[in-house]
Every structure is written in structure tokens, then in C-alpha cells.
A and B are shown apart, each in its own frame.
Chain A
Amino acid sequence: MSPLLETKDLTVTFGGLNANDHVDIEVEKGSFVGLIGPNGAGKTTFIDAITGFVPTSAGHTRFDGHEIDELKPHQRAQLGLARTFQSLELFEDLSVEDNLMVAAQPTNWYTLLSDVFRLGKTDPEVEKRLDWALEVAGLVGLEKELPTDLPHGQRKLVGLARALAAQPNLLLLDEPAAGLDTAESNALGGHLRNLLEHDITVFLIDHDMGLVLSVCDYIYVMDFGKIIASGTPEEIRTNREVISAYLGEEAGEVQARSAEELRGISHKEGPE
């Protein structure tokens, strides 16, 4: 059986610089795959390329049996490829519930008419999906709130819930832990792990070693746009190339942990 998501030689060029350089990645159905790398390694560009937000200059992407290179972002989303954004990008003047609703319910040519004449009833399927997404993200009771009235950690979860509301086949998470403190980050890890029980495959991007090592089954490491290593968490933890490129020579898990804690503190003091 072919993998759910497969990229072959995926290359993204920004004015002579290869932000992604012949990237080959496979994500099997039902797995939890991570992509780590230092800041500026090209991780977000990779998600943008898969979801159609930046044009690729070479290579192919297959998703769920479709060649999706020519598809527009919304068409890829309709195939079940959902993503979150590093910088939230919520619909700030829609309530939490409406944010999810935009993603949860597909429309067609007669939607306008059924809206205007109020013929359309809310699909019970959609209701169920909505409730499920709210529950998974732990947002039950906050449906009517505006995202801007929520603390940062919960806003991140609204982004996650919105991606989930479409009940995607593959969920691409772009640095979900950025801006969260350690406790929130750990809680998020728990939420994420639960996703697998709901038949959703997850592809997680982060530079937070601790989070990625703790939740993923398989990990790719990217540096300067290239995949420099891949393997199980144990293999990555001990891979010399990864350690030198990413963690520094004397690295170990201890350092990763303390770095993570430091980051949590500095983010709390930050403008967020």
C-alpha cells in the first residue's frame, strides 16, 4: 500500500536559494511523523509547499492516491489535507464555533440559495464533527467566545480544532508549541497523542526537540532545506550528524530539556 503522503524531490526555490532541496518524505496512514530542524531550515516552507501556498520548482507530491501538484490550496484542503499555522491565523471576528464551522461544512453551488431561504438544516454529521473537534482540543464551553478574548494557549487550540473540524486524513501541524509555556506544551503533547486514536494521521513540525521526541513514531531532520537524517526517536537522539547540526556537539536530552524550559520562560515574557 502506498503511503498517505509522499513527496519526491520536492524543491522550492526563492530567488536562487533552495529553501527545500529535493525533499523525499513518506507519511504512512495512522502514523505520527515529525519534522525537526533549526530555525530557518525550511520546515514551514515545506508545509506551505505541500498545501499549495508556495509554488514548487521541481518534484512531485502525492496525497491519498492523488497527484496534487496542480491543485490549489482549497482543493488540497478538500481532499482532506488540513493544516495549522505557526502564527495562528484565526478568523478573529468569528466565534470559536464559526471558525470551526467554516472548515467543517463544505459548500456547493446552491449553498447561497439554501442560506437565503433557510432551507439548509445543519447536518448532524457536521454537528458531531464540531463537537468532536471541540472536545479533542479541550474547548468545550468556549464555542461562543471570540478568539481574541482567549489566552494564547487556547487560541492555539482553536487553530488545532479548526483543522480537525474538517475531519482530515492528514493533519499538518506547524510549530503548535511555539509560544506555549512548558505546562501548556506538555498538555498539547497529550492532546496530540490522542489524535491517533481518532484515525487521523499527523505530521508535526517543530524545533522543540522534547515535544517531537516524545510524541512521534518517526522523525525527519531538516537543515538548510535538505533532509539530513531520518529514523525512530531513539535513532535520532543518538545520530551524530543530527547532534552536530542541531543540538551542538555535547548535546543530549538533558540539554534539549533545559533549552525547552528556557524557551518557555522567555516566551512568557515576550509580547504575546
Chain B
Amino acid sequence: MDLLFGFFAGLGPGAVFAILGAGLVIAYRGSGVINFAHGSVAAYAAYTWNELRSVPSGSVGYEGGSIFLPWFDPIPEWGFLKALHINNLPVEIHIMAGPPAWLAMLVTLLMSAFIGLLMHLLVFRPLRNSPLLAKVVGSVGVMIYLQAIASVNFGAKNRSDYGFWEFSSTAEPITNFLGMDKNLPRSTPYLAISALIIGTIVWLIYRYTRFGLSTRAADENEKGATLLGYSPQFLAGLNWVISSVLAGLAGVLFVHKAQPSQLSLYIVAALAAALVGNLTSIPGAVFGGLGLGALASMGVSATRYSWWPDWLPPEGIRAFAPVLVVIVVLYLRGDKLPIRGTVGLGKQPLAPSTKHPFVGIGIGAFAVLLMSNIFTSKWESTLTTTLIAIMFMLSLVVLLGFLGQISLVQWSLAGVASFVLIRLSSNGLKVRSTDFFVVNGPDWPDPLAALGGVAAAVILGLLIGIPALKIRGLQLAVITLVSIVAVEDLVMRNKPIMGVASVTTNPTPEPEWFGQYIGALDESTYRNDYWKYTLFALITVCLASLLVVNLRRGLTGRRFLAIRSNERAAAAAGVNVARTKMLGFGVSSFLAGLAGMLIAYKLPMITSENFSPLAGLAMIAFAYIGGITTVSGAVLGGILVGGGLISEFSALHFEGITRSYINVVGAVGLVVTAIFTSGEGTALSVAKSAKAMVVGMRGSSEEPNIVEELNEPIEETV
């Protein structure tokens, strides 16, 4: 009976998955992009709806009824600019206080359509001929951008909730549903029916109208459709708008349940739903979404039975259901999933090998030591944040840069290393007098515990890598994206595995390697003020950099690049593709694990928030901006990342660009980098430009065309 009720209760969230999934299918068919930002569009719509309809609690005199356009006013409010009354971008537009539901709905959907149009014009149209990684990164950029801009524009205000009609949370639940003695939210049946109606309408449009027919034609054969007189780009734009409107609809229907910010991660379940429909079938996505909701909810109901194992908590089930669906669907279909015939796959970014790594590493290490000596404790912490980010981005250079495997899950692996390290070195006693919680554990000595943490990351990384043997490109990105949520809920937040009294806070033990205390926290002042930690992090990063440089210079790096370039040809040249790929996943996870170790040694406590999906995607974003194929790119990315040197420095000196804006800037930089540097990133592009300039100044006629080639705009990323 519990399971049956679980089935019905799951149709509510399932309906949201269904509508989101249908939107993903439409965007994919229109432009060949899997839009990771789809959930964020829904979230922005939900925020907009909330802002229109509700009053933030505690803000007296505020009426709501405004909309916020999806950007912020970039001109800082410095005295003289303010005095000049330079009003730049309009952001807030007041509609009316307490608009009726139909008007709010209309405005919200228009906003979604507007966002869809902007995404098409500013991001995906310019990226249409770019390499796959650039497209993935572009949509990740949009996702980060929308989330960041939503937090800038709407803040973290808790709103009293006004849904509408039966979708309102204040609506009476259906008591004693079907005689099962349980209360079902009144919205659930309405949501399920809405999903079916919306799905049917959209399906009919695509099945029977001329527009639907031409979209399908362009999907099958872009060139052919062009020759028949359809503009694929116009069709793509229209499909983006429709897809975004569906996302907006899902967002509005959903907001009665929870805060809009949660919607961004509904992308995971929506992807699973879309994959059930093979990314092309709207009915498949709708029924897939409903089924997935029901399946997850039944799984959660099942956890109440006594036979259910403890190590599979309900949150884990909810997160794991879509992961299971995605992995099963993708793995079973193997190569047969549709790879859209994109015109011109584009060139992969170059990954040059470094001839004199010691010069660069030496200069970098010297700079770090110098800064460490000058800086106060706050800045020392910023410095080590940058070092940690560099360490982590080296793992991305190996996996995404050299091997070309678009894995989005590496940050979670760093998290796993942190958590396992803490668990292994704990002994169930309080570490600091201020700790609220204790961790039970076998009390391993420190280098050993660190080794255990890194090993756990490597093992998990290899497991996640297994699907990569059969699944490539976009589908791998999908699998690894859903894996992020699975790792978070199933491993990091898993109390039976991690042995923490609270699922949120893990106090980190104080690390001692061979008798030397190397943690970042000063035991008496609790400040990040310990030079030994900085030195330890610096040495780790230098060694890892050397490892990556040597890997690239050696046979392994060449084979990685060969696989990235052409798996068939690599196999024909005698390269064991499967083994080499696993090697890449292993090395990358090892480096990510080391980053996790540095984090565990730095912070007084770890929560799964440190390794949230957004944080991980932002890491990839900045690594991409810096340059995903080089060590220098990783260094630049680490300097740029939020909490790193640049962001803290600008937060100090330019009040306009505070920390909350860094992800907006990062996301814009990401999209710009993706469009203009064909993925080479800033470090490499600048290096090439510099070289070209030197060649130009010498007046050498050796490579006359290189200057022109490299004169693309690059510098606006910072």
C-alpha cells in the first residue's frame, strides 16, 4: 500500500520532470545542444513568478509585483558615476502590485521566452560550429550565469508562497486518498494532468504543423533542410523559445513545493526523462518523467520497510533513481544514441607540451612564497584557495584537456577524498573544543588516511569512467552530471558510510605528517595562518604540475591526445583505447583526490555544500577560461576562481564587483572564451598572441598568417 501511494505521490514531481524533459527534447532537436541550463531557466521563471505574486516575509512596505531582467547593472556605484546619474541597464521593472494570476503567468512566460531567445542569439547560435566541449561549456556557462544572476537579483529572501488555484500550497490536501489513509497534496493530480495536456499539445504541434515538420527535417539533415529553403537558425531560435517557455511553465507549476533554487538541479531528472524519449520523442520524455517521479517516490516509500538497508537513505534514493535510469538507458543503447549530424565538428584546442617546466614552476613557487610572507592571514587563506583550485584544475587538464572526456563529476571526487580522509583519521573524539559533532573512525595516522581518501577518489573515478568506454561526448557529460548528485546524496551525505552524527558538518582532524603539523588553522587563533600548510600545498601543486607536464611530454600524453582526436585511428595505431581511457580517469581522479586532501587540511569542517554541483561546474568554467589544455591555464583558472586572488582583490578594491558577482563574470567569461578562443582558453591564446607579436616585430616572414589568425578578441575574459 505504501508503494502504491508512493506511486501516486511521485506523479507530482514527475510532472515537472516530464515538462522539463519535453523542453530538453525540443531544444536538442532544434539545435543539437543538451541544455544543462534548462533547470535554471525554470528556476528563474519561478523566481519571477514569486516576485510578482508574493511578498517577502519581513519586508514591510514592499509590494512585490516587479520583474527583474536577467542581468545586472555592471557600472559600479562609485561616487562620481552615481553623481552623474548614469543610469545604464534597466533591471527592475515594476508591473503592478499584486497582479492577478493570469497576468503574472503571462509575464513569467514572456520572461522565459526572452531568456530562450537570448540564449539562442548570444550563446548557442555563435557556438553552432564549435567543438562539442565548447557547446557543453556554453550551456554550463548559461546555467551558472542564471543561477548567479538569480541570487543577485532575487537574493535569498524567503517568500511566503502564492501558487495559484489548486497549485497553491495553502490548498487543502486530498484527505484519505483512494482510501489509503494518507493525504495527497491537492496539486498532484492537477500537475499530472497538466503534464499530459501540455505534452499532448506540444507533441501535436511538432507532429502535424509545418513548423514541426521543418524542425524534424532540419534535425535529420541540416544541409538538406537549408536547400529546401528552411533557415535552420530561425528554426533553432524558435525551438529555443518554445523550450524555454516549457521550462518557465514547469517552474511556475512547481513553486508551490519548494524554493526556486532547487529547480536548477531538476535538470538531472529532466535529462533522465528526455533520455527515455531517446532525446527525440516528446511522448517518451513525458511518460519517462512521470514514470521517473513515481519510481523515485516508490523507492523513498520502500526505505520505510524494515528490510531496507541503512546505507541507502531516502535522499540517496531520490537522487539515485534518475542516475540509474540515465546509466541504464545510455549504456544499453551504447553507440546507438543519436549523434546529431552537426555541420563541421570543429577543431579541438591545441595542447602544446612544455619544454622548460622548471622555469614556470619556479617563478610560480617564488611568487607564492613571496606573497605568503607579505600577506595577512586572510590573504594567506585566499592564496591557499587559489593553490587548491590550481591543484584541482590540473585534474581537469588531464581528463578534459588531454583525453577529451567531458566529465563534470571530478569536483565531487575531490569531495569524496575529503570525506573519506576525515572518516579514516577520526577517532570519535572532539577535535576542537568548538566542534558540535564528532566523527567515528579507525583513527588512521595521517599520510595513510590521506592515501585512503585519494584511493577512494581514484576507485570511484574509475567506476564512473567505465561508462566512458562505450559512451562518448555529450552523453558522457550527461552521465557525469547526474553522477554529481548521486555522489553527493549517496556518498557524501550518507550517514552510515560517513559515520557523522550530522549529515552536514564534518569536523576535520588536525593533520600531522611525520611529526609536523601541516594544517592551515592556527590552533589558538583559529585563523588561516600557518605557513607550513601553504608550503605543503605549494609543494603538492608543484609536484602535480610537473606530473602533468611530464605526462603530456611522454608517450602517455600523446596517446591521450590521439584518443581525443580520433579513437578509430588510435586503435588502428595499436593504442588500447579502453585501458588508456581508464588510465586517464585514474590519473585525473588521483589529482582531484589530492585537491580534496588539501581542502580537508585547510578547513575546520567540511560539508557537502563545499562540493555542491554549482561549485564544481564553476571550477570547470574557470579552468576552461584559463585554458583546459595547459598547466598555465590551470594556474590562471585558479587565480580567477571565486575566492581566489582576483575575486578577493576585486572585492576589496571595487565595491561594485563583490563576490556575488564573480560567478556572473565567470559565466560570461566562459561563454566568451567558448565562442572566441575555440576552447584554447586565455593562457594559451595570450601566449600565442605574444609569440605572434614577437614574430611580427622581428618582421620575420616565416609565418605571416599566424598574426591574423590569432588576432581574435581574447582579453575580455578577465
Task: Point out residues on A near B: beta carbons under 8 Å.
Answer: 51, 53, 72-74, 77-78, 82-83, 85, 89-94, 98-99, 101-103, 105-107, 111-112, 114-118, 120, 148, 162-163, 166
Asked whether, in the complex, the Cβ of A112 is within 8 Å of the Cβ of B551, the reply is yes
Q: Which residue of B lies closest to A77 (CB)?
A: B574
A124–chain B nearest beta-carbon distance, Å:
16
Q: Which of B347, B556, B569, B572 has the most CB of A within 10 A?
A: B572
Asked whether, in the complex, the Cβ of A101 is within 8 Å of the Cβ of B574, the reply is no
How far apart sit A53 and B566, CA to CA, in the bound complex (Å)? Answer: 14
How far apart sit A108 and B538, CA to CA, in the bound complex (Å)? Answer: 32
Cross-chain contact of B572 among A77, A107, A115 (Cβ < 8 A): A77
Residues of A within 8 A of B349 (CB): 93
Q: Which residue of A lies closest to B566 (CB)?
A: A89
State which of B183-191, B414-422, B521-529, B575-583 sits at the interface with chain A: B575-583
Contact flag A74-B577 (CB < 8 Å), given A53-B568, A89-B566, A93-B565: yes
Interface size on B, residues (CB 8 A): 32
13 new A-B contacts at CB < 8 Å, known A82-B573, A102-B562:
A51-B572, A74-B575, A77-B572, A77-B573, A91-B561, A91-B569, A91-B570, A93-B347, A99-B562, A111-B554, A112-B587, A115-B550, A116-B550
Q: Which residue of B lies closest to A102 (CB)?
A: B562
Asked whether, in the complex, the Cβ of A101 is within 8 Å of the Cβ of B350, the reply is no
Asked whether, in the complex, the Cβ of B568 is within 8 Å of the Cβ of A148, the reply is no
How far apart sit A107 and B576, CA to CA, in the bound complex (Å)? Answer: 9
Interface check B635, CB cutoff 8 A: no
A99–chain B nearest beta-carbon distance, Å:
8
Q: Could you name 29 residue pairs across A and B whose Cβ atoms are closer than 8 Å? A: A51-B572, A72-B571, A74-B571, A74-B572, A74-B575, A77-B574, A85-B568, A85-B569, A89-B566, A89-B568, A89-B572, A90-B566, A92-B348, A93-B348, A93-B565, A98-B558, A103-B573, A111-B556, A112-B551, A112-B556, A112-B583, A115-B550, A115-B554, A115-B557, A116-B550, A117-B550, A120-B555, A162-B573, A166-B574
Cross-chain contact of B573 among A102, A114, A118 (Cβ < 8 A): A102
Interface check B553, CB cutoff 8 A: yes
Residues of B within 8 A of A112 (CB): 551, 556, 583, 587
Asked whether, in the complex, the Cβ of A115 is within 8 Å of the Cβ of B551, the reply is yes
Contact flag A85-B562 (CB < 8 Å), given A115-B553, A115-B557, A116-B547: no
How far apart sit A90 and B569, CA to CA, in the bound complex (Å)? Answer: 7
Interface check B133, CB cutoff 8 A: no
A118–chain B nearest beta-carbon distance, Å:
6
B356–chain A nearest beta-carbon distance, Å:
13
Pairs of residues from A and B, 6 with the lowest C-beta to C-beta distance, nearest first: A115-B554, A77-B574, A103-B573, A73-B571, A89-B569, A91-B565
How far apart sit A90 and B570, CA to CA, in the bound complex (Å)? Answer: 9
Q: Which residue of A lies closest to B349 (CB)?
A: A93
How far apart sit A148 and B565, CA to CA, in the bound complex (Å)? Answer: 13
How far apart sit A81 and B510, CA to CA, in the bound complex (Å)? Answer: 57
B336–chain A nearest beta-carbon distance, Å:
13
A259–chain B nearest beta-carbon distance, Å:
28
Interface check B559, CB cutoff 8 A: yes
Residues of B within 8 A of A93 (CB): 347-351, 561, 564-565
* Docked complex: B340-363 residues within 8 A CB-CB of A: 347-351
How far apart sit A103 and B572, CA to CA, in the bound complex (Å)? Answer: 8
Residues of A within 8 A of B577 (CB): 74
B579–chain A nearest beta-carbon distance, Å:
9
Cross-chain contact of A92 among B554, B556, B565 (Cβ < 8 A): B565
Q: Which residue of B lies closest to A99 (CB)?
A: B562
Residues of A within 8 A of B547 (CB): 116
Residues of B within 8 A of A163 (CB): 572
Residues of A within 8 A of B551 (CB): 112, 115-116
How far apart sit A118 and B572, CA to CA, in the bound complex (Å)? Answer: 27
B317–chain A nearest beta-carbon distance, Å:
38
B363–chain A nearest beta-carbon distance, Å:
21
Residues of B within 8 A of A103 (CB): 573-574
A90–chain B nearest beta-carbon distance, Å:
7
How far apart sit A82 and B559, CA to CA, in the bound complex (Å)? Answer: 17
Q: Which residue of A lies closest to B554 (CB)?
A: A115
Q: Which residue of B lies closest to A80 (CB)?
A: B574
Residues of B within 8 A of A77 (CB): 571-574
Residues of B within 8 A of A89 (CB): 566, 568-569, 572
Asked whether, in the complex, the Cβ of B550 is within 8 Å of the Cβ of A73, the reply is no
How far apart sit A93 and B583, CA to CA, in the bound complex (Å)? Answer: 21
Q: Which residue of B lies closest to A84 (CB)?
A: B572
Contact flag A102-B572 (CB < 8 Å), given A89-B566, A112-B583: no
Q: Which of A103, A114, A166 has the most CB of B within 10 A?
A: A103
How far apart sit A102 and B576, CA to CA, in the bound complex (Å)? Answer: 11
Residues of A within 8 A of B557 (CB): 115
Cross-chain contact of B347 among A74, A118, A148 (Cβ < 8 A): A148
Asked whether, in the complex, the Cβ of A73 is within 8 Å of the Cβ of B572, the reply is yes
* Docked complex: B530-559 residues within 8 A CB-CB of A: 547, 550-551, 553-559
Contact flag A92-B572 (CB < 8 Å), given A107-B559, A112-B556: no
How far apart sit A176 and B349, CA to CA, in the bound complex (Å)? Answer: 28
Residues of A within 8 A of B569 (CB): 85, 89-91
Q: Which of B350, B553, B568, B577 has the most CB of A within 10 A?
A: B568
Asked whether, in the complex, the Cβ of A94 is within 8 Å of the Cβ of B574, the reply is no
Q: Which residue of B lies closest to A122 (CB)?
A: B555
B567–chain A nearest beta-carbon distance, Å:
10
B112–chain A nearest beta-carbon distance, Å:
39
Cross-chain contact of A94 among B554, B561, B572 (Cβ < 8 A): B561
Residues of B within 8 A of A90 (CB): 565-566, 569
How far apart sit A132 and B292, CA to CA, in the bound complex (Å)? Answer: 60
Asked whether, in the complex, the Cβ of B347 is within 8 Å of the Cβ of A94, the reply is no
Asked whether, in the complex, the Cβ of B574 is within 8 Å of the Cβ of A78, the reply is yes
B553–chain A nearest beta-carbon distance, Å:
7
Contact flag A74-B565 (CB < 8 Å), given A92-B348, A118-B550, A120-B554: no
B560–chain A nearest beta-carbon distance, Å:
10
Asked whether, in the complex, the Cβ of B572 is within 8 Å of the Cβ of A83, the reply is yes
Residues of A within 8 A of B347 (CB): 92-93, 148
Binary contact readout B399-419 vs A (1 if CB under 8 angstroms, 0 otherwise): 000000000000000000000
Residues of B within 8 A of A82 (CB): 572-573
Asked whether, in the complex, the Cβ of B565 is within 8 Å of the Cβ of A94, the reply is yes
Q: Which of A53, A74, A163 has the most CB of B within 10 A?
A: A74
Asked whether, in the complex, the Cβ of B562 is within 8 Å of the Cβ of A94, the reply is yes
B687–chain A nearest beta-carbon distance, Å:
16
* Docked complex: B12-64 residues within 8 A CB-CB of A: none
A87–chain B nearest beta-carbon distance, Å:
10
Cross-chain contact of A74 among B348, B550, B553, B576 (Cβ < 8 A): B576
How far apart sit A24 and B662, CA to CA, in the bound complex (Å)? Answer: 66
How far apart sit A118 and B551, CA to CA, in the bound complex (Å)? Answer: 9
Contact flag A116-B576 (CB < 8 Å), given A72-B571, A92-B347: no
B577–chain A nearest beta-carbon distance, Å:
7
How far apart sit A143 and B550, CA to CA, in the bound complex (Å)? Answer: 21
Q: Which residue of A lies closest to B348 (CB)?
A: A93
Q: Which of B555, B557, B564, B568 has the most CB of A within 10 A?
A: B555
Q: Which residue of A lies closest to B705 (CB)?
A: A149
Q: Which of B556, B561, B562, B587 has the most CB of A within 10 A?
A: B562
Residues of A within 8 A of B587 (CB): 112
Cross-chain contact of B574 among A53, A85, A91, A106 (Cβ < 8 A): A106
Cross-chain contact of A107 among B351, B550, B556 (Cβ < 8 A): B556
Asked whether, in the complex, the Cβ of B558 is within 8 Å of the Cβ of A94, the reply is yes
Q: Which residue of B lies closest to A112 (CB)?
A: B556
A77–chain B nearest beta-carbon distance, Å:
4
Residues of B within 8 A of A115 (CB): 550-551, 553-557
How far apart sit A117 and B349, CA to CA, in the bound complex (Å)? Answer: 26
B343–chain A nearest beta-carbon distance, Å:
13
How far apart sit A124 and B557, CA to CA, in the bound complex (Å)? Answer: 20
Q: Which residue of A lies closest to B574 (CB)?
A: A77
Binary contact readout B465-483 vs A (1 if CB under 8 angstroms, 0 otherwise): 0000000000000000000
How far apart sit A74 and B559, CA to CA, in the bound complex (Å)? Answer: 13
Asked whether, in the complex, the Cβ of B573 is within 8 Å of the Cβ of A166, the reply is yes
